Amino acid sequence: MKVKVRPGDTLWYYSQLFAIPSHLLTDSNLHVNSTNLQVGETVSIPGFVTKPYTISAGDTLWKLAKSRTLLADALFLVNPEIEAENLQIGQTIQLPERVVDSIVKGNRKYDFEDLMRDVQDLQVIYPFLQPRSIGKSVLGKELVELRLGRGTKRVHWNGSFHANEWITTNVIMTFLNEYLLALTNMRSIRGFYVEPLYLEAILSIVPMVNPDGVDLVLHGPSEQEPYKQQVIDINKGSLDFKDWKANIRGVDLNNQFPANWEIEKKRKEPKAPAPRDYPGDAPLTEPEVIAIEQLIRSSNFSSVLAFHTQGEVIYWGYEGLEPPNAETLVKEFSRVSGYEAVRFVDSHAGFKDWFIQEWRRPGFTFELGKGVNPLPLSQFEEIYQETLGAFLASLYMG
C-alpha cells in the first residue's frame, strides 16, 4: 500500500499507526531518507492493501477504522482529500486492509508463469522483499533471486534444479509467504517468533533454477525451435516428459559443478544430451548453472540448502571438507524434519559438493518426500510440514 507523506509524518509514526515493525518500513522504502521524509513523497506500507468501500448510512471514519482495528488517522492518510464531517452516502473511499492470508497456493501444479506472478504480487504487498534477475535460462526465462532480512548470517536456498522435482519450488514459495505474513502480522510460526530471524539473517532464495525444464515436464515442449524437436528426439519420440530432470538442452544441472566433475563425466552412462544424468561436455556450460555459480561467488553465504526430491534424507558432507558446525546443523534439521542425515554418498559435481569444496562451509541437499518423481501433489502438505522446521532452523542456526 502506498501513501503520500504529510507534514510531520515519520516512518516511526507509520509503524505505530499500522502496527508494523519499523525496520520493515525502512527496508520497504530504501528510495527515501528514512530520517527526513519529504512532504509529498510516496511511501510504501508493507503488509497492507487498499480496498474500495462505499459509504452507507451511519458510517463515520472512526467507526470504519475501529471495525478494522485501526486508528482513524490511517483512513485520513489513505484518503487525503476526504472531509470527515461531510461523508456522502454512496461515496467511495479507500480502506486500508491488513493482509492476513497467503497468496501463494502451493498445492497445485506450479510453473514459471505462476512463480513470476506470485513474485510480483508478493513484492507489491511486501516491498522489503527484493527480487532481482541473476541471469536467464536457455529459453530466456528470468532466473529470479529473492532476498530479505538483515544481519550477518547469509543463508541461501534453491529449488527445482531438476525439472521433475518442481514441487520443491511450491514448498519454498509457500514457506516464504508464511514467513512474510508472520513478519508483518507479528505472529509466530510453530510458536517461534520470527522477527529476530529477519534481524539476524539475510535470506537468499532462487526458487526455480530450471524453469525451462519445469515447464517442459508440466506442459510439454516449447514451441521454440530448435529445442522443441531436440527434446522430443532426446526423449526418444515420447511426449511424456515426467521423467525429465535436465534443462532444455538435456544437461543435468546438478552434475555441472567443478567438484570432481571429471569423475562423473567418465562414469555417467549418458554420453550425449539425455533426460537425466548427462553432465555436459564441461563443467559450468549451462546458463542456469553459470548464474548460480556467479551468485554464490559474489554473496559470501554462510550456508546453502538445495531442495530436491525424493528419499527423506539430508546429504551434508563432501570429501571430508565440511566444517564441524555442519554436523550440528544437520542434526537439528534431522530432528525437526524426521529425515535421515547422510554424510557421504558416492557422488560428485553437485551444487552442494562444489559449495563445500570451495568455501568449507555447511552445504546441504534435502531430498523431500518419498516415492517416484514427480511426487504427487497429495504429498505436498506432508512434505511442507516436514520441511517447515528445517526452514526455520536454517535461519536461526545457519
Report d(CA 125, CA 109) in Å as an integer: 24
Give yes or no: 367 in active site. yes
What is the SS3 assignment for 7? coil
SS3 call for 275: coil
Q: Which residues contact 94 (CB under 8 A, 6 or more apart)?
A: 50, 51, 52, 53, 78, 79
- Please name which of 284, 355, 289, 283 lies closest in space to residue 317, comparing C-alpha atoms: 355
d(CA 230, CA 275): 11
What torsion do the CA atoms of 331, 332, 336, 338 make, to the nearest 10 degrees?
Answer: -10
* Amino acid (one-letter) located at 259: A
Residues in the chain: 398
343/327 Cα distance (integer angstroms) = 9
- Among candidate residues 142, 165, 367, 386, the one labeled active-site is 367
Distance CA 83, CA 86 (A): 5
Give start and end residues of each alpha helix (H) in 29-69: 61-67
- Taking the alpha carbons at both ends of the chain, their separation in whole angstroms is 33
Active-site residue set? 367
